[in-house]
Structure 1
């Protein structure tokens, strides 16, 4: 740095006390100080040229993405994060050619990372076994209402008998609600199609007959006939449809069904409901009786021609030898974890003419388990994917309600199929080491 001290001494020694001399001396001092500032700015500029400004946020994202990608090469999210960060770092101002080229090479290296098939299969298997995270509900926010059942759905009334919410059948069907049930509910904010969500059932009270219309139901009714000429006369157990004690043949117009996404065909299973006091029941029952619910089961052979060709996997299943068994539209509960990819097991039930009903075997509350299985005909428990406490509850309620019951030790096709056979034929629930004969159906 320029040493300006001697220059200042000379200027001060030669400066007299008159005004002109003082002005000249001040000008000389400013000139020397200006030369010093200019030199410092020049040195600072030279240093700045050697400094590269790096976006620390993007650098941190890059490092985070690389860490997760090294641990799990099949992590697509981590791969995309790393690629995005390295791209933004490449576009930074002031970086030299070598630095930029290294970033480009790193980007290509990240793109080339491929997960092995074994690693992907392992990841898929682990995801299938993960227990779904059920959103926590704050029961303190729920208010109590009384249920008044409708032909489809229900009303929730307050202590003043004023209707506060009206819920759809799709919201309450699995809860098996009836008029008089006391529930806790909260307003539905996330789904604009629903007014409220029921948190839990907390009690029951008798409602005066003058306040509630009496409703009769006919469950698991079988739709029969061809398109345009569908009718219902009996249910899956062979029981005839009767209104006020008189057998009825109910014509069905699929175009009037409440859910336009489901088409009624020959073999469809539905629940019916009607108000006992409806005057139309005598002259025109079709106007008074309403379809409350449609069970989604495999469609009949008449509609198969309109479907797409089966996949290779489905074709292989069809080629497997079929056991000598016909479920005749019985409701089959599949006790397995919620969302545990039970599609294959449901396909087995459909193959033998049953109605598959998934049961969440990770739900340990006895009342919930009981409500799920008390109306079933058969229950198959897949022990490899069920909570320990639920296993005992399911077995207990199956015995209480005289439901056919069997256990499949694995989720394999043959193990589940044989468990279904044992339940239907009244054979031992557990196969174990004993020898059991499984008859093959004759073609």
Structure 2
């Protein structure tokens, strides 16, 4: 059995307790054997490897409960065409280098066989969620469905749970509920088809909001706002306000009501199966999400800092959900980097300051998500959350919220699986070393190939 010692580092163990300084973490095989005050390296005799982590911070491997494009199979709960396998593996590499050792893929129509092949091909622990209930399948087929094979359609949510899926989700999603997926993919695609001009996600979102409002309603159409959004996108003369209403309404509305009905349907199936349900929580779905929270299902309100919310609305809604026992998740989205849809960290910071956040994930953000550790680093520096609390939100809290997603993971303690991350305390997102199941798979910030 191989023994590795992480020597003389500081430890934030995932439980929310204060950091421990100058400790050695002894890993035997795939398990943490002991955590002790640091000893001289030569006290360990003939162990297989001693990794000097002095001046560094050790945390549990992150457990990310909201990812897309991390398993072979249809992309998104709209059943979009699957990514090439090499792109899926590149996405997993990216998560790994960001300190994530377990992901929950919430694309929703991935089969157990495809999940197993993905998990075997990469050191990140990939876990399955399903959204394949009748209404969600109908919404996907209406909105897109281009990647759904007969096998995907036949592999229902109940089948998935029997095959080891640990949650139902993502139920809804921006691609069927008029969220970010419509803004960064479907609307720009159709505008480009008609005009030859590729608009940005933010410009598409402006058109969508002018036509349907934040809460998605045909009655919200605002012609003046549409004309302003057209001018802002450089499309005046290329499309009329009526053209935009046709485009946006034709993309968003056919699947929207079906997807809304799917929220309650999936919650009922999750309750029967005894697994959590992870739902798309945004301005357009907040009423239905609150209704589910009043039931006895374990509800994870995904990306509760969604850009469709106004700040006060989001915080108050999250507070009500939390009071009803829901798990409030926030996502990094593209808050600090690309900002193609988000405008900055103010909403995220407000959620932390209000004390309503339970878990932190990334979501997809059109492939531009920010690292969880970057969001934690910036939020801690902003004084809106403590480091131990934030690390717990990305590790132990997730493992507790979704039983089965990361058994014996999410905490650093004797007897736990050795999924460990060594990072720079001054720049948390600069990950140096990652260990998965006791094996070092990232060294000096680079993936170690088998």
Query: TM-score under structure 1 normalisation?
Result: 0.22
Of structures 1 and 2, the one scoring higher in RCO (CA 8 A, sep 6+) is 2
Query: TM-score under structure 2 normalisation?
Result: 0.22
**Computing the radius of gyration over CA atoms, which structure comes out larger, 1 or 2?**
1
